[in-house]
Amino acid sequence: MLRRPARLPSGSSEDSDTSVYKVTGCNAQFNTGSGWQYVPTYGDPRFEYNVSYRWELWLAPAKEHLAFDSSHLPTVNACYTGAKVTINGVVDGELYLYMEFGKPIVPSMFFNDVHKTDWFYNDVEYVYYNMMMNGVGNGNFDPNGTCTRAMVVTVLYRLEGEPGMGGTCPFTDVKEDAWYYSAVKWAQNCGVVNGMSATTFEPDTPVAREQLAAILYRYTKEVLKSEDLDGIMLIGFTDNGDISDYAGTPLSWAFGHGIIQGTDTETGKYLYPQANATRCQIAAILHRFCDAYSLMAP
């Protein structure tokens, strides 16, 4: 099951013992002639879920408990009165819904340009099923395409459940009506991004490998509050002199945790810190990152 990306409704909880999510609420919708109905907002609309549920009715004033153990919604002669119901015009009570969601029933990978023989197949499958990355349209993932700085920040924003964030965004090139505005504002306020300057973020600029390492490092430190930030010296890489000053520690951390890997060539081992990260590389890096910090349930 998803762990961090899952946005559970208010009043719900996760049952870690059975790896299911239980949703409890009084916000059922009453339709005349059809009884109580509740439409859950949990999960990914692309997939189907095995769902079991039961209704419980607590009658007032004695708080007598009635349970509806049925695969169908209870059909009672009731009218909606806020958080309470009136049965047969006489008794008030409170109606609760308990739902358990099983693992999603997902289709096989269907991107035209991602094949099981590709080294990144499992990584693309992972980020797609965990709602971290989507395709680019027309049934394609574009594994060798680039990913913008705004896209990377939005992935982490989704990972946190898209939390609300007050304040303002200091970047003049991030407009309030932009699809990534809330994500960039959150990331800047949390210390995840610093911007390309004090007033610019460059949301449409492709993210470089060292920039991605720096963003993930700050996210781990400032948002996850992890103290597991040790790294490994990068003197063995032929291009270690190309690493920007700000990216030295993040790349050391990312390499030490197996999140970013180098490439062996005939002339040496390279990190390519200044190179743009491709979408398949980002999928692999995100997969390794989530594994390293146990951000997803198995």
Q: Does 279 reside within a domain?
A: yes
8 within some domain: no
The CA-based angle 166-169-173, given to 5 degrees, is 155
User: Does residue 220 form part of some domain?
Assistant: yes
Which pLDDT score, from 0 to 100, does residue 284 have? 96
Residue 260 or residue 77, greater confidence: 260
Same domain, 138 and 281: yes
Q: Which residue has the higher pLDDT, 85 or 244?
A: 244
Measured at the CA of 198, the angle between CA 193 and CA 201, to 5 degrees, comes to 50
Verify that 196 and 132 share a domain, yes or no: yes
Of 76, 105, 134, which residue sits at a domain end? 105
pLDDT computed for residue 129 by the predictor? 81
Ranked by mean pLDDT, which of 9-18, 100-109, 134-143, 248-257 comes out on top? 248-257
What is the domain extent for residue 63?
Answer: 13-105
At residue 174, the pLDDT reads 96
Q: How far apart are CA 68 and CA 6, in angstroms?
A: 28
Mean pLDDT for the stretch of residues 268-283 = 96
Q: How far apart are CA 277 and CA 208, in angstroms?
A: 5
As a whole number, mean pLDDT of residues 240-265 equals 95
Do 187 and 266 share a domain, yes or no?
yes
| Residue 35 and residue 152 in one domain | no
* CA nearest to 208, candidates 246, 257, 237, 156: 246
Please determine, for residue 215, whether its predicted confidence score (pLDDT) is greater than 60. yes
Cα–Cα dist 272/148, whole Å: 17
SS3 200: coil
Let me know: does 216 contact 257? Beta carbons within 8 Å.
no
Residues 156, 149: contact at Cβ < 8 Å? no
**The total number of structural domains that make up the chain:** 2
154 and 95 share one domain: no
Are residues 157 and 76 both part of a single domain? no
25 lies in some domain: yes
Residue 179's identity, in one-letter code, is W
**Both 128 and 262 in a single domain?**
yes
Residue 90 has pLDDT above 90, yes or no: no
Do residues 154 and 256 both lie within one domain? yes
Shared domain for 266 and 216, answered yes or no, is yes
Lowest-pLDDT range of 38-47, 127-136, 261-270? 38-47
Rounded CA separation 153/182 (Å): 10
Convert the pLDDT of each residue in 8-31 to its tens digit. Answer: 333 333 332 222 333 333 333 333
Q: Is residue 267, in this structure, part of any structural domain at all?
A: yes
Does 137 lie in the same domain as 86? no
| Cα–Cα distances in angstroms (integers) from residue 187 to residues 81, 152, 195, 290, in the given order | 42, 10, 10, 18
